[in-house]
Amino acid sequence: MKMTCVELPDNLNAGGVRIQGIDWGDLNISHIHFPKGADATPLLEGLPQNLCQCPHWGMVLKGAINVRYADGRTETVNAGEVYHWPAGHTVWVDEDYSAIEFSPAVEMAEVVKHLRTKMGVPA
């Protein structure tokens, strides 16, 4: 089975944030786009610890993304780098950003549902 990034269906497209993704079995594959200045922190309010509870593995295609973990540690992941973020993180970007990301399907669906609600996007 295969698909190009541009063929992935939209799961969220609002305010310049776009998450295109599909579940293949228990795995969600997403093409993530954040515009310059996007900050997920306020959108994660209401989740446990006000942090994303879904682990992600991926590769940054464009830009860079800042990550803060539950323990307060931060790091920046740049274009061309691969990453793993365990549950309990938030992210923000200072420049336009895109990545390919792999996540457990159930947990990713819960995060996207929460984001849609916070952004006022109908289900």
Owning domain of residue 61: 36-98
Q: What is the CATH number of the domain that holds 82?
A: 2.60.120.10
Q: Contact, 115 vs 43, CB < 8 A?
A: yes
pLDDT of residue 28: 98
Distance CA 45, CA 114 (A): 9
- From the number of C-beta atoms within 10 Å of its C-beta (0-12, 13-18, 19+), residue 4 rates as exposed
Residue 87 inside a domain? The answer is yes
Confidence of residue 1 (pLDDT cuts 50, 70, 90): confident
pLDDT of residue 37: 98
pLDDT by residue (tens digit) across 59-94?
A: 999 999 999 999 999 999 999 999 999 999 999 999
pLDDT of residue 109: 97
Residue 104 inside a domain? The answer is no
Residue 106 inside a domain? The answer is no
Count how many domains the chain has. 1
Residue 19 inside a domain? The answer is no
Give phi and psi for 27, each to the nearest 5: -115, 135
pLDDT of residue 54: 98
pTM, whole model, 2 decimals?
0.94
Residue 123 in this model has a pLDDT that exceeds 80: no
Residue 123 inside a domain? The answer is no
Give the residue ranges of DSSP H helices in 1-123: 105-119
Minimum mean pLDDT among 15-19, 58-62, 106-110, 119-123: which range? 119-123
Beta-carbon contacts of residue 4 (< 8 Å; ≥ 6 apart):
none
What is the mean pLDDT of the segment spanning 50-55?
98
Residue 51 inside a domain? The answer is yes
